[in-house]
Amino acid sequence: MKKNIVLQVAAFCCALLMLCITGSTSYAAEETVIASTVLGDSNYVNAGWMNHRVYITGYGINCSMGIGEMAQYPVQIKQVGNERICVLQDTGLVDIFISNMNHDLAALAVTNRQDLFRRGNTYVSADSSSIIQIAPGTKNWLLGILHKRLMGKPEDIHLTLDESLIVRSTGTQNMSYSDNYVLSGTCTTSFKTSGTNRSTNIDVAASRMNMVIMPGQAVSVSDTFLPRTAANGYKVAHAYSGGKIIDSLGGGICQVSSTIYNACRNSGLEILARFPHSMPVSYLPLGMDAAISAGSKDLVFRNPYNVPVIMQAYTQNKQLTVNVLVPSDTLAGTTYKFWAQKTGPLSADSYVTTYVNGLEQSTVCVGTSKYRPLPAE
């Protein structure tokens, strides 16, 4: 009998220990959709909300959004555990609200003329602006507040920006540089067959790649493009995903990253990360593209020189051009050629050939790319 009691106690202790380790005592709150309706439906949302506003202040701005302007927006009324929430299914006005805050914050930027680099006869100067913008997570923060508050007593919602809701960056414009900066690498691709939305996405992404890359600095192209949201200027266009062609916010920006990739290879910049597309692209040969997908695929390059490198990106007549400028005395007669050779109908190896004063020095394989076939029409 004593032996059985000991075994039972031991078994209970083991079970208790496993319960603590796995944390199996906590469960996600059960979620039930009560109704699918519109925000102005007074059967679920107090009609008084339509006369109130959301105010956000801080860092020199005071912006507001009328809740009544969303009266016809679709919502879902949900029961989550013991709490009832109102989930907006359309966030268009919130996107505009955040865009307006970014506009007001940008207007407060402080601009100063300064040297970004100066050594001997080599220099880069620019009007440098200290810019504050709304952090990407702020939209979800605001929506979370609205979803809960809209089920309560109608009143104006007053919120304050803090450091967790903003990002600080330094922008440059009106750049000038010494005469010894020369074109080291370039690439031009065409988007003449692209629709309005895809063309807009290419314009927006390219505009963010005009920059000075300091010695040793690494640049994430995906981060520099900013999150692909309507608030950041992106529109819905075709994109590749899992062997399919889908509509996606920011569709087409991979043409910008691919053009950057070629310009970087042609200028001797170091590539730290590059991924091929899942399927062939029309604007570059196999093996010479670079896909971008938030959280999974990025193009990351680094400046290996001991002086700053200048990147210029622009569109004209539906052509995208990316240039990389490096001081001629740093290059010392060295040039690079990026090229690819097909190894099959859907595969290719890519190479960089290095020349000094026009004479070939070496050819190095820098990547192998494999693709799926494009889906049937």
Residue 1 CA to residue 224 CA, distance in Å, equals 71
The mean pLDDT of the chain is: 90
Which range among 52-66, 78-92, 130-144 shows the weakest confidence by mean pLDDT? 130-144
* 184-206: pLDDT as tens digits: 999 999 999 999 999 999 999 99
pLDDT the model gives residue 170: 65
pLDDT the model gives residue 372: 94
Q: Which two tokens stand for residue 104?
A: 């007001």
What predicted TM-score, i.e. pTM, was given to this entire model?
0.65
Residues 6+ apart with CB under 8 A from 376: none
Which range among 38-42, 105-109, 148-152, 177-181 shows the weakest confidence by mean pLDDT? 105-109
* 314-338: pLDDT as tens digits: 999 999 999 999 999 999 999 999 9
* 93-120: pLDDT as tens digits: 999 999 999 889 988 877 777 888 999 9
Domain ranges of the chain: 29-119+132-178, 179-377
pLDDT the model gives residue 28: 54
Residue 370 CA to residue 107 CA, distance in Å, equals 46
- Closest Cα to residue 308, out of 122, 171, 172, 128? 122
Q: In what order do the strands lie in the sheet with 218-220?
A: 218-220, 300-302, 270-273
Residue 150 pLDDT exceeds 90: yes
